[in-house]
Amino acid sequence: MENFIPYIIIGLSFYSVLRLAVYSVSSNMHAIQQHSQAKIRAKDYYRPTISIIVPAHNESAVIERTLSSLLNVRYPRSRIEIIVANDGSNDDTARKVRSFAARHKKELTIRLVSRPNRGKAAAMNYAIRHRATGQLIMCLDADSIIHPDCVVKSVQYFRDTKVLATASNVNIIENGTLLGLIQRFEYLFSHHFKRSHTLLNMEYIIGGVGSTFRRTTLNQVQLYDSDTLTEDIDLTMKIIANKGNRDYKIIFAADAITYTEPVQSYRGLIKQRYRWKYGRLQTFYKNRSLFFSRQAKHNKQLTWFLMPTTLLYEIFTLLEPFLIAYIISIVIQTRDISTILTAASIFTALIIANIWASTHVPVRDRIRLSFYAPAMYIGMYALTFVEYSTAMLSAIRLHKLAGSLKSKHTTWKSPVRNADASMSI
């Protein structure tokens, strides 16, 4: 077995480099394409009505910050409404929303809808069914901040009647910690994957922060389901299963900027990523018929490539610590660090390239982040540990996957918030 380990490492390394190269090229192609299309879209006035739903559960520390960012949104006030879906909060969330809405009633209409705690999906569904009137529906998490141009940028994509949903470009608000900085690099890097997925029409994750949908599409699929840990991935895949993604489009709106807090601790990060990972497995299991689908409405890049390789990646994640340990032992035995230096150099070059391709990031920040980039080769191993831990936890609970979907109300607990995080934007 030991004789095969070098070949496994070489194979995985080749796959990783090839994957990154393909994504980098296609990401830049998408950026060029999007830039040219933005000029065309900017010439025409398009302002459909939009309902922004803010699901909230014990968000007293940050809800006013989120609502304050909505005051600055550049969009006709007659075409926009804000609905805070209070999901059984037992803190001051409701009182602060009512107070904020009263103080700013001349600037923006903000309505509060309070219901018993049934989870984010149920809170969103009630607000959409019984309160929202917009042609488009946007979800904005209560710990996030929206850029003033985010709404107008997001809605422009819906000029194309084939566009069903858009994901915003979510950026991490730096909080002065190493873990927060690592998460910012991670998000910047992941944006280029989402650009590539959009170009190849195989995006399947429309995340909660700034996610926007056609109202008619949500009605057709009967809104969010409440039986998975990741209602946003579940909804996106339900739309793809129902409508298809060959003719219809799920879009990453790179110019629609939102901000969210980093997770404050490793323990909290493991909890968050476990929810994401296990929730995605739940969603894949629910939509297992999409794997290698032969239906004409489904894009083969998603069903024959991305979904299967995503599962393969999870298996590789379980092997990664052993492969890293093997490489370290070889380096110690041979006292040759050239392999590690080469890998670090390639990684640093890719990170810097991605930083400078992120045109929404101010030049001063791009310069600063470029200086940090070499250290991120080591910093990203902190995320490797998180990925491995959550992969192990998911593997341990894999036999409960089918049974976990029988729950009708998957509730959620808000992570620890840092109300001062906005100061670092």
| Predicted local distance difference test score (pLDDT) of residue 135 | 95
Q: Phi-psi category of 348—alpha, beta or left, where left has phi over 0 and alpha has psi -120 to 50?
A: alpha
| CA dist., res. 111 & res. 94, Å (int) | 11
| Predicted local distance difference test score (pLDDT) of residue 415 | 58
Task: Find where tokens 């930083």 sit.
Answer: 355
Cβ-based neighbours of 84, under 8 Å, separated by 6 or more? 54, 56, 63, 67, 97, 110, 111, 112, 113, 142
Q: For residue 139, what are the β-bridge partners?
A: 53, 211
- What's the fold here for domain 1-425? Spore Coat Polysaccharide Biosynthesis Protein SpsA; Chain A (3.90.550)
- φ, ψ (nearest 5 deg) of residue 110: -125, 125
What is the three-class DSSP state of 291? coil
Task: Find where tokens 């858009």 sit.
Answer: 166
| CA dist., res. 227 & res. 275, Å (int) | 13
| Predicted local distance difference test score (pLDDT) of residue 423 | 42
| Predicted local distance difference test score (pLDDT) of residue 340 | 73
| Predicted local distance difference test score (pLDDT) of residue 44 | 66
| Predicted local distance difference test score (pLDDT) of residue 15 | 61
- Bridge-based pairing of strands 136-139 and 110-115 is unpaired
| Predicted local distance difference test score (pLDDT) of residue 45 | 74
Residues listed for the chain: 425
Cβ-based neighbours of 362, under 8 Å, separated by 6 or more? none
Give the angle 407-411-415 at the CA atoms, nearest 5°. 145
The whole-model pTM stands at 0.85
Q: Look up residue 267 and give its two tokens.
A: 């323990």
| CA dist., res. 410 & res. 227, Å (int) | 6
Q: Where are the domains of the chain?
A: 1-425
Q: Look up residue 235 and give its two tokens.
A: 């909804």
Q: How many angstroms separate the Cα of 202 from the Cα of each of 196, 236, 240, 378?
A: 8, 11, 10, 31
**Cβ count within 10 A of residue 36:** 9
pLDDT beneath 50, residues of the chain: 1, 422-425
Cβ-based neighbours of 327, under 8 Å, separated by 6 or more? 9, 339, 340
Q: For residue 167, what are the β-bridge partners?
A: 252
| CA dist., res. 307 & res. 148, Å (int) | 35
Whether the Cβ atoms of residue 146 and residue 118 lie closer than 8 Å to each other: no
**Cβ count within 10 A of residue 133:** 10
| CA dist., res. 313 & res. 12, Å (int) | 10
